[in-house]
Structure 1
Amino acid sequence: MDPEQARKEYLDLFTRIQALAPGDWGVVVPPDIKGDVCRLPDRSDGTQFSIDLHRDPLSREEMDILHDKAKALFEATGFTVKQESDGGPNFVRHTDVFGPDKFVMGLTTGKYGISLGGNARCVPDPEGKFR
């Protein structure tokens, strides 16, 4: 996979999860976002894309539905999905997906807001033209 494929894979899933919680996310992810340097298994530098966005909360019932839908979307990737809930008064809940080459994306909801973020795969970019 090259950096453009990794960026597209990540942004496609990111925007699909965002669409499950419509409303004001405050920022539109730029389609030409630049990557960051990351370390490949052979200890060389690769490129990885990272995005983190936040928005106001939904009702608790809407957030539960959001996590169920996010889990289904994450499971469709074939990557590892993990869900946790703290059970406390702020009803914090996490749905995370872990994929190959350091791919990770997480959806966190709670009484005070919703957060979506993570990192694309770390892929070779020998000329550094994507960062």
Structure 2
Amino acid sequence: MDPEEARTEYLDLFNKIQALAPGDWTKVTPDKAGWVCDRPLGTEGTQVSFDTSRSPLSREEMDVLHDKVKALFEATGFNLRQEIDDGPNFARHTVVLGPDKFSMGFGTGKYGITLSGNTRCFADPEGKFR
């Protein structure tokens, strides 16, 4: 996968999730530099992260939102994990892990909503994206 394919794959899912909870999300900086990651056969690649957050919704709205996010994550065919904390902050996390170190996590709680993760580790022999 080349850098643009990795970026597009990640941001397509990222944007779909943001659209499920319209509102005042923090600005995403998609052109920031990535970092070194390990590729097969001992080679190095680059991985780019994207992060955003917004104010919380009601607990009921966030529970419905997690169900929708879970459905989108399941559609990727990647590994899915959910964690729920029934404590006073009602934190809940839904995470998807894919090939080549792809990851995306969606978290909600009393103080806000977060969406973050990393693109696949892609070949970057010239260090152009770090």
Taking structure 1 as the reference length, what is the TM-score of the superposition?
Answer: 0.92
Q: Following the alignment from structure 1 to structure 2, what is the Cα–Cα distance between the partners of residues 56 and 30?
A: 19
Q: Which amino acid aligns with 1:4?
A: E
**Residue 14 of structure 2 corresponds to which residue in structure 1?**
14
Q: Following the alignment from structure 2 to structure 1, what is the Cα–Cα distance between the partners of residues 33 and 49?
A: 9
The runs of at least 4 aligned residues of structure 1 exceeding 6 Å deviation read none
Per-residue CA distance 1:64-104 (angstroms, 9 max, x = gap): 11100000000111101111101111110011001001111
1:83 aligns with 2:72: no
Taking structure 2 as the reference length, what is the TM-score of the superposition?
Answer: 0.92
**Residue 93 of structure 1 corresponds to which residue in structure 2?**
92
SS in 2 for 1:54: strand
Range that drifts further, 61-70 or 35-44? 35-44
By how many angstroms is 1:56 displaced? 0.7
Per-residue CA distance 1:32-63 (angstroms, 9 max, x = gap): 44432222232322011101211110111110
Q: Which amino acid aligns with 1:129?
A: K
Q: How many equivalent residue pairs?
A: 130
SS in 2 for 1:64: helix
Q: Following the alignment from structure 2 to structure 1, what is the Cα–Cα distance between the partners of residues 9 and 118?
A: 11
Q: Following the alignment from structure 1 to structure 2, what is the Cα–Cα distance between the partners of residues 125 and 17?
A: 28
Q: Following the alignment from structure 2 to structure 1, what is the Cα–Cα distance between the partners of residues 22 and 71?
A: 17
Unaligned runs of 5+ in 1: none
Q: Is the 8 A contact 2:30 2:50 kept in 1?
A: no
Q: Higher helix share goes to which structure?
A: 2
Give the 5 Å matches for 1:1-131: 1-27=1-27, 29-30=28-29, 32-131=31-130
